[in-house]
Structure 1
Amino acid sequence: MTPPADVSAQLRKGVAEYCILGLLSREPMYGWQLSETLVRAGLIASIGTLYPVLSRLRERGLVVSFEESTGAGPVRKYYRLTAAGEELLADFRDQWPTFSLTVGALIHGETPDDLPTDPPLEGTPDA
């Protein structure tokens, strides 16, 4: 018998990068800060899962890192969005409402003919 799929793990994996970009769109953050927020939200298991994602985002040119002294402790490595990261996040924000409504409709048994052609954007971050 096949064990039940961990659907939430796949969902988290699919949106974690965009959630990181969203957090960094507000302000530069250091790894521990990002990790605490994402762990509290249930999007990552631990800080150890964050750094590989940040590395991929850096390699793709979506974020850059820089070091800043805290004055009282060690130097911290901060991350911020690049113009390419801002553009990708804007594209994701534009596509997310339609995507989530479509998935919601399909998993509740609606057919493609039943799907809204111009879904409302109320309640989304851009509304």
Structure 2
Amino acid sequence: MQPSLLTFLSFPPNAAPVMKRIEVLIPHERIQNAERALSQSGIEGLTLTSVYMQCNSVSSFSAGKNRLMGKPCCKVDLLVSDDDLPAVQKALVQIGHPDLRLQIFVMDLETTIRIRTGECEEAALR
């Protein structure tokens, strides 16, 4: 008999997060470079989402002025351990440097649970 999910959720109170969630917007033409650099850093899993980056420019056509809604790009989501964070940040900075203005967002990840197996934290990501 498998233990209930509640037994997996009993973490020590005020435990420091050991994982990070990284979010970065990358132009479509740089995605293969990003995947290659992250793979060399030891990161195999990532989530790609097609989004539009905010663009506040106005273009003039013969029919008048049109406001551009946004530039298409990919949002890359990664879950990494604290130990892997510096290598991942370095890889992402090298992708965009020096001509691309990337913003890398790093957030604490409190808990990761794989529902099917009940694995927690880093074991749930492997």
Coarse TM-score class (shorter-chain normalised): under 0.3
Name the TM-score, length of structure 1 as normaliser. Answer: 0.24
Please identify which structure carries the higher helix content: 1
State the structure with bigger RCO (CA 8 A, min sep 6), 1 or 2: 2
Greater strand share, 1 or 2? 2
Q: TM-score, normalised by structure 2?
A: 0.25
